[in-house]
Chain A
Amino acid sequence: MYDSPTLETKLDTKNIKIAADNVQVYYGETHAIKDVSVQIQEKTVTAFIGPSGCGKSTFLRTLNRMNDTIDICRVQGTILLDGENIYDPRVDPVQLRAKVGMVFQKPNPFPKSIYDNVAYGPRIHGMSKSKADLDQIVEMALRRGAIWDEVKDRLHSPGTGLSGGQQQRLCIARAVATEPEVLLMDEPCSALDPIATGQVEELIDELREDYSVVIVTHSMQQAARVSQKTAFFHLGNLVEYGDTSQIFTNPVDPRTESYITGRIG
């Protein structure tokens, strides 16, 4: 990720994948994220919850610098990935995004075949030596995305022809194919029906074996089902961060309690 050897860091990075410290995000004049510090652990599912417009998606997008594509957006503070600041000018955001993959709210398969959708990342990053190698990567990714059985006979038909739930699992497979270390998911189930949601949630649970998964969700049940850590955002502040079981059963902050019990939101 760096062009030169790493910086020293004070943090114990053993279990910490991403450490955000005093992060501020501005959209023009609007102060969207205020003083957020959070530590995301390895091989864990972390859920970001909070009412609409509280900044959880914005914060998620700062973790792989997707906000760079928005002209008026400014980010301050440090975000360390494996102890290295991703906002260091020497960091190439393109390579960062290969390490920190992202799945979006709406399924967005490319207008290409299912195979080409999954092979997109590996091809760009030169991850395969041969056609057979690439076939293998695609199959593995589709299996991890729990969609292989449904599409193995029509790998060369367009990805846009799949159903919404299949499309979203294809997008997850596509993100997995580049072998990221962290997978960011921005409300991945909001466009899906309950059955497809169940499949995706199962998938997230399996992905935890290899990746850190950060998921933004509006559904508190979903957060409770899939995550081990939960962060509650409110009006741009990180109100509370802790074990999911603790947040949902015994929240410290009264705002968290109000949100979880449905009084604010």
Chain B
Amino acid sequence: MPATWIFLIVLALAAIGYVLGRSRALASASGDSRNLHSLPSYYGSHVALYAAVPSLLLFGLWLIVQPVMIEHHVQKLIPETSYTSQGELNLLMSDVHRIANGLDYAVRNGTLGAQAARDLSTETSDIRAVLANSGVALGSDVSAPTLVAAKEYRALSVTGDSYRAIAVLALALAGLAFAVIKTNRDFRARNAVERVILSLLILAASLAILTTVGIVLSLVFNTIEFFKLYPAMDFFFGTTWSPSFGGGSQLGILPLFWGTFYISLIALAVAVPIGLFAAIYTSEYASPRIRGLAKPMLEILAGIPTIVYGLFALLTVGPSLMAVFGPGTGLGWMQGGTAVMTAGLVMGVMLIPFVSSLSDDIINSVPQSLRDGSLGLGATKSETIKQVVLPAALPGIVGAILLAASRAIGETMIVVLGAGAAARLSMNPFEAMTTVTAKIVSQLTGDADFASPEALVAFALGMTLFVITLCLNIFALWIVRKYREQYE
């Protein structure tokens, strides 16, 4: 039975269960819902949940486990003499999949009878031709063990699918029956439903956490792999970045790290004053009408995709900087449009809405009573802002700036387009440099062998970056939390 059908039948059973549970509860209370422990809809939901949740969980699990088990079983049918490495085995197995799917397709099309598909053999017919007839193209002739494996694969899939249908539907019916039998006027359906909902919420939360753990683990393992091939000291303290895929590359993180730091610094130097002043204006001085207009306008900036900022850096900011600092003007500080300054300025513009919007909310949450207190002592508005409002809001503002900083460190597209690709240790902000993120991209796009240090270094870079931004975020949260209660 196809998966969609099973799913729909389970849902239908749940719907039936809802009606059954509801009416059974009402019947046990002789039709008067006031005699019930919970509202009638809770009894219905209780039955529906018992019918649907366990069976759908089993269904999901089955969908994941069955292919793995079949794969494992079928692999044994392929003689060990026909491959030498894991890679070759993988290629053979994908042939098996393609043939099995091709046979399925042919049977469904009617070009091949179901029995005929089971009886096929390499001695009596040319499989490649048979499948080609029904519109499935194969790259090469099919060997006997492959065909056997493919047929076994099909057979196991069919059996597995029917067991799956039986097991899932049986579980759904059992859950339904169990819950219906439990339903009576004194049954605490509301509490039961709320417990189930609670566990669903916990499940959702733990899925998100597990994904994070998975991402971190994949980073960690690949990073360990990298450090087996390349000494950690050279990675962390090397001052040269020159990967060469022929081997013998120097992979020192310092130039990349310096680029990241330098560009982020310029970006923050742009974003923090502008964003903060904008926030002070919108939250303290602007009339409600102007605030209602200016704040969304600022926040539109946050919605621009970073690649568009990158284009802006490449096509507008870079050339304008060249016109001022380039060789043509006699200053000659800048040799090309792509430079730390270009990327830093544009990234700063990107960060303005982060700083301004968060700071605006934080300044607004400073209680009015503090402003009144200061004004009541004869302070002017700007004295009040400088000496009372901003100090009270400072922890939150610092948090906002640190969040903006971790955005700046993780930014890629603006750097790729605005700062160039040269890994360089230099103080001159008009020179091209590059960052950790931009180099991760360039190390992984290309035909690199994934087992080489030149590709694996990307994971080490990613891990380093992750640790840095994580520390920044934790530090930001810690600051915000430590001082938040102060004026409450």
Contact = CB atoms under 8 A, between A and B. Distances in A.
A160 B487 contact: yes
A97 B391 contact: no
Contacts, number: 75
Contact of A104 (B287, B369, B387): B369
B378 A95 contact: yes
Nearest to A105: B369
A29 B374 CA distance: 29
B287 A120 contact: no
Interface residues of B, number: 22
Nearest to A98: B378
B12 interface: no
B375 A110 contact: no
Nearest to B483: A111
A94 interface: yes
Contact of A171 (B373, B375, B379, B388): B373
Contacts of A96: 378
B378 A121 contact: yes
A121 B384 CA distance: 11
Interface in B375-429: 375-380, 383, 387-388, 391-392
Contacts of A99: 378
A108 B389 CA distance: 13
A55 interface: no
B480 to A, nearest CB: 14
A94 B391 contact: no
A106 interface: yes
A160 B392 CA distance: 12
Contacts of B369: 104, 106, 108
A95 B378 CA distance: 6
Given A108-B367, A110-B374, A111-B392, A120 B387 contact: yes
Contacts of A103: 376
Contact of A124 (B372, B379, B391): B379
B370 interface: yes
A178 to B, nearest CB: 6
A66 interface: yes
Contacts of A104: 369, 372-373, 376
Given A111-B391, A111-B486, A160-B487, A120 B377 contact: yes
A171 to B, nearest CB: 7
Contacts of A108: 367, 369-370, 372-373
Contact of A101 (B288, B371, B377): B377
Contacts of B288: 71
A24 interface: no
A125 B378 contact: yes
Given A111-B391, A111-B486, A124 B378 contact: yes
A221 to B, nearest CB: 26
Nearest to A69: B375
B378 A110 contact: no
A112 interface: yes
Interface string A113-144: 00000001100110000000000000000000
A123 B154 CA distance: 87
A97 B487 CA distance: 24
A97 B388 CA distance: 17
Contacts of A124: 377-379, 383, 387
Given A120-B387, A160-B487, A110 B376 contact: no
Interface in A88-102: 94-99, 101-102
Contacts of B370: 108, 110-111
A261 B75 CA distance: 96
A174 B392 CA distance: 18
Contacts of A120: 374, 377, 379, 387
Given A71-B287, A160-B486, A160-B487, A110 B388 contact: yes
Given A106-B369, A111-B486, A66 B377 contact: no
Nearest to A112: B391
Contacts of B392: 110-111
A104 B378 CA distance: 14
Contacts of A64: 376
Interface in B323-381: 367, 369-380
Contacts of B367: 108
Interface in B263-296: 287-288
A175 interface: yes
Contacts of B487: 111, 160
Contact of B372 (A66, A94, A112, A121): A66
Contacts of A160: 486-487
Interface in A187-223: none
Contacts of B383: 124
A120 B287 CA distance: 28
Contact of A94 (B371, B379, B387, B486): B379
Contacts of A97: 375-378
Interface centre among B373, B374, B380, B486 (most CB of A within 10 A): B373
Interface centre among B372, B383, B486 (most CB of A within 10 A): B372
Given A110-B370, A124-B383, A66 B376 contact: yes
Given A96-B378, A124-B387, A174-B373, 14 more contacts: A66-B375, A97-B375, A97-B376, A97-B377, A98-B378, A99-B378, A102-B376, A108-B369, A108-B372, A109-B373, A120-B387, A121-B378, A121-B379, A178-B378
Q: 7 nearest interchain CB pairs?
A: A98-B378, A102-B376, A108-B369, A97-B378, A108-B373, A121-B377, A111-B486
10 contacts: A94-B379, A96-B378, A97-B377, A98-B377, A104-B372, A104-B376, A111-B370, A120-B377, A124-B387, A178-B377
